Amino acid sequence: MTTQGEPLLSASFRLDPAFTVAPVSRRTFGSFVEHMGRCVYTGIYEPGHPTADTDGFRQDVLALTRELGVSVVRYPGGNFVSGYRWEDGIGPVAERPVRRDLAWHCLETNEVGIDEFMRWAGKAGVEVIYALNLGTRGIQEALDVHEYLNHPDRTRLAELRRSNGTDKPYGVRMFCLGNELDGPWQTGHKTAHEYGRLAAETANALRSADPDLELVAVGSSNSSMTTFAAWEAEVLEQTYEAVDYISAHAYYEPVEGDIASFLASSVDMDHFVERVVATADSVGARLKSTKRIMVSFDEWNVWRQADFQSGITAADPSEWAVAPRVIEDRYDVTDAVVVGSLLISLLRHSDRVTAACQAQLVNVIAPIRSEPGGPAWRQTIFHPFAITSRLARGQVLRVEPHGPLYDTARFGEVPMVDAVATYDAEAGEVSVFVVNRGQDQPISLTVPLGGFGGTFEVAESWTLADPDLSAANTEDEPDRVVPVEASGVTITDEELRLELPPVSWSAIRLVTR
Ligand code: AHR
């Protein structure tokens, strides 16, 4: 409430079970574990840690991973994968080679490889998306890693997996055909033509082994790439019938003095998805194909890349360290609101974005932080992800907010309120996810329930906001920023009302009375 006792601004959107977009895809709530910085070593894996289990996995991090509601994890990179030899990470640990990782200029000990990671994924209860190295390697190595992972027995690599302790095939369904090969920074960077051909041939070979795999062609590393859209068009011309997905990656950061645009980052994500879909569909039309390519948004998050590039959080390049501290961004209240709104954008596009991975899971631009030998805690961005993953069920419902606009340098006028809803008809539950991107005033939100009739009560409501937008969770104060019960929540047969503080993310679950 304002000091006068009344919110000055109001907004509304109607909820209607007829406005379905698509079923909620559980893979929207994916994450990413790269052999980078301290994501693997002292992140998920730290044998000497007081909470480590007999496999060396930190159980505090495992518990937080489950609580985060992660459904699927992309592994093992990232830029790392484009120089990675998967076979370095199998067999007796003492015999595994230490290698240079040119992507992040550090040393990879290979203590954790495929078998360890698959064991961790089983404990975390997550599916694995395996990213193949199409930077320094090619079709044969892709087939080899697939054989090791998925072939039941009798072949050399299936028997090698069995002799390394895993009888049954892992049954990995989804494979990324490389990582960010459009980027000049990528080891094995390629033109769209070169990559498209390699991706098509690799996909065809993998499908000869297993026609049911789900394959992701590399899309643009971000929508500002000069090759954006032309890359997707050329790659899909060559791979259209061989792949199921095109990838998208996007990282958002505040630009000095322009928080307004940062808060509207989901406008950029909306445009990004819609442009990739338009490009894919135009290739499909030209090829006279009835198939629809889906988007795998398999890297997204808030990342202060300006700090990284200026060396503030970069590893010392002279060092060749093992698991150095790299891009361990500390997230604040504004970042959490942006992450919440990016999840709204992903859900809104559930008809075409059916997989997404927040990058990354632990320590490296991550919702979970851990200290070697010390505690693990939830960053601010943990909360909107965990609650959205838990509450988004059934069908995604499109909503059209009406309300105040605000000016941004990057996107022009933008609605202050953005929202999406989900409806689980079987459980009789509706969940609403909403942000107030305005910085100055609370907004009184009214949600007419006309399409549903007066059958709901509020089961739970959450708001993440704070007068101090720079507040963050730290080792000393791990719960400085947590969601609290939403304020001003009332429900009648006709409408739901709640109050949205400035710069806030909220979620509310309604159940049938
Ligand atoms: O997630 C960090 C890095 O960002 C990944 O390794 C790369 O794919 C992207 O550029």
Atom of ligand 1 nearest to the CA of 221: 10
467 pLDDT tier (thresholds 50, 70, 90): very high
- Evaluate: CB of 79 within 6 angstroms of ligand 1: yes
Q: How many whole angstroms from 78 Cα to the centroid of ligand 1?
A: 5
Q: Is 462 helix (H, G, I), strand (E, B) or coil?
A: strand
User: Does ligand 1 have an atom closer than 6 angstroms to the CB of 299?
Assistant: yes
Q: Return phi, psi of residue 8, to 5°.
A: -85, -30
Catalytic residue among 34, 116, 141, 180: 180
Does residue 359's CB lie within 6 angstroms of at least one atom of ligand 1? yes
DSSP strand E in 232-327: where?
A: 245-252, 294-302
pLDDT at 3 over 50: no
Q: Is 256 a catalytic residue?
A: no
CA-CA distance, 492 to 440, in Å (whole number)? Answer: 29
Q: What percentage of residues in the chain have a pLDDT greater than 90? A: 93
Structural contact between residues 32 and 360, judged by C-beta atoms closer than 8 angstroms: yes
| Range name among 30-34, 307-311, 337-341 with the lowest pLDDT average | 307-311
Average of pLDDT values for 492-513? 96
Q: Among 90-94, 223-227, 309-313, 319-323, where is mean pLDDT lowest?
A: 309-313
The alpha carbons of the chain give a radius of gyration, in whole angstroms, of 23
pLDDT per position as a tens digit, 249-276: 999 999 888 999 999 999 999 999 999 9
CATH annotation of 25-391: 3.20.20.80
Q: How far is the CA of 79 from the centre of ligand 1 (A)?
A: 6
Among protein residues, the one with the nearest Cα to ligand 1's atom 2 is 78
Site of tokens 């087939």: 143
Question: In the chain, what percentage of residues exceed pLDDT 70?
Answer: 96
Phi/psi zone of residue 257: left (φ > 0), alpha (ψ -120 to 50 degrees), beta? Answer: left
- Best of 249, 297, 298, 313 for a ligand 1 pocket test (most atoms within 8 Å of beta carbon): 249
Starting at the earlier edge strand, list the strands of the sheet with 417-424: 20-23, 395-397, 417-424, 429-436, 504-512, 456-464
Residue written as token pair 């609403």: 432
Angle at 26 between CA 23 and CA 28, to 5 degrees: 95
DSSP-based helix, strand, coil % in the chain, nearest 5: 30, 25, 45
- Domain-by-domain residue ranges, the chain? 9-18+396-512, 25-391
Atom 8, ligand 1: which residue's CA is nearest? 78
Our answer on whether the CB atom of 346 is closer than 6 Å to any ligand 1 atom is: no
Examine domains 9-18+396-512 and 25-391 and report if their fold is the same: no
| 371-391 core/surface letters (b: 16 or more CB in 10 A; e: else) | eeeeebbbbbbbbbbbbbbbb
**Catalytic annotation present for 87:** no
Is the CB of residue 141 below 6 angstroms from any atom belonging to ligand 1?
no
Ligand 1: atom nearest CA of 251 is 4
CA distance 112 to 77: 13
The DSSP secondary-structure symbol of 484 reads B
**Minimum CA distance residue for ligand 1 atom 7:** 78
Q: Ligand 1 pocket check: which of 33, 39, 79 to mutate, most ligand atoms within 8 Å of Cβ?
A: 79
| Amino acid identity at 494 | E
Calculate how far, in angstroms, residue 381's C-alpha sits from the geometric centre of ligand 1.
Answer: 18
- Reported confidence tier of residue 369, pLDDT bands at 50, 70, 90: very high
Instruction: Measure the CA–CA gap between 379 and 13, rounded to whole angstroms.
Output: 31
pLDDT over threshold 90, residue 349? yes
485 C-alpha to center of ligand 1: Å?
A: 35
Per-residue tokens: 78: 């990232």
pTM value? 0.96
Would you state the pLDDT for residue 37? 96
Specify the pLDDT at position 455: 85
- The per-residue pLDDT of the chain, averaged, comes to 95
Residue type, 40: V
Give the separation between CA 439 and CA 503, rounded to whole angstroms.
Answer: 5
Once rounded to an integer, what is the mean pLDDT over residues 32-39? 98
What pLDDT is recorded for position 2?
Answer: 44
Ligand 1 centre to CA of 245 (Å) is: 19
Beta-carbon contacts of 92 under 8 Å, excluding residues fewer than 6 positions away, are none
Q: At what angle do helices 156-163 and 139-150 cross, to 10 degrees?
A: 50
Fold held by 9-18+396-512 = Immunoglobulin-like (2.60.40)
What's the mean pLDDT in 1-23? Answer: 81
Q: What is the pLDDT of residues 183-226, one digit of tens each?
A: 999 999 999 999 999 999 999 999 999 999 999 999 999 999 99
3-state secondary structure of 3: coil
CA 118 – CA 149 distance, rounded (Å): 9
